[in-house]
Structure 1
Amino acid sequence: MVTAASERKRSVRNAVRERRAASSAAQRASDAAALGARLIELVERTGATRVSCYLPTATEPDPRAFLSWALAHGVEVLLPISLPDQALAWALHSAVPPIPGRHGILEPAGERLPVTAASTADLLLIPACAVDETGTRLGWGLGYFDRALAALDPLPPVYAVVFEADVFAELPRDPHDVPVTGTVTPASIRRFSA
């Protein structure tokens, strides 16, 4: 049964997908540099020494400048690995080139760590389709990160990494949706009220 909430989510996903696909190579490069600076700023501000992050798809906000900085500055980064049961495992970011994973997404080639390894991070930086001003995170509909976040105890602060246009006033929230602490965009860092 299609509900108003599921239809709204589908509509937002389609609009975000189209807007991101229309972004020029020059804009993507500019956004990647600015996003790297914001992610470094957040990690330095919080004093985080172990974080999670991700390897981007072609249209996601690109954190690779941050990943290079983290490797050079001794910040451990856990990167997700998609498992067949729509769960996540993690591996530490390293200089070893990533390998193609499920859904065509690059993944780290290192030793697999369980989903609960992310509970040892000081900060979780995760991709999203969109986020609203109350911390509702909209993913792409497969639930990988919702399940991963629900499995963590303790749950570190979670920041969704999106573009500025991906922050909405309000999005539908389902009972299984885990709210995020804030967002990081190429232009800003937001922390939502608790």
Structure 2
Amino acid sequence: MNTQDNDQSASAQEEYNLGNTCYAAGNVQKACEHWKNVSRQDHAGVYAWAQYKLGDLFDLEGDIGEAREHWGNICLEDDLRLYAIAQFNIGDSFVKEGKIEQARAHWQQVPQEDYDGAYAWAQYNLGTSFEKEGNTPEARPYWLNVRRQDNGGAYAWSQLKLGNSYSAEDKKEQAREHWQNIHQEDDPEAYMKAQDYLEKSF
């Protein structure tokens, strides 16, 4: 990295930090100005954070179109974690508008390499979206993609959904197998439901 690159990186970080300071002080407009001044050319990682903050800010203000634009500016190469969360958020925003196909398209973009739980919840949501359409065979593979080590809560609810889907087909052994996979520490509510279903299945 040459001197110019160092200067650009420092400038990007400074603008981002100023945005954070302004936001903390309640000056939202000024915060936006600073975050928008951060360019990918100056520093891709800082740019990703600035775009993520802008997306969250506009989402809170109810301007989902503007929020999606900023989340959508984040590339996988900028920051894998933020890209994953951004794609998940965009998917969720389309659900609120009843646009399930668009939501699925973005949830499917969440990389499996994400370590923040976005992938696990995206897979859970994909499965649930098909379940709501009465397409359980299409839903199950997504729920099966959710691993406990990725996110305990998403895993618990996915296992509950799998168990319930087999129970609806009167396949009690398969249903019990999935219900028994649910741990209390992962999600107490899902665990209690699973225990209740297990008790009634015998």
Q: Relative contact order (C-alpha < 8 Å, sep 6+): which is higher?
A: 1
Band the TM-score falls in, shorter-chain normalisation:
under 0.3
Instruction: Compute the TM-score of the two structures, normalised by the length of structure 2.
Output: 0.26
Instruction: Compute the TM-score of the two structures, normalised by the length of structure 1.
Output: 0.27
Larger radius of gyration: 2
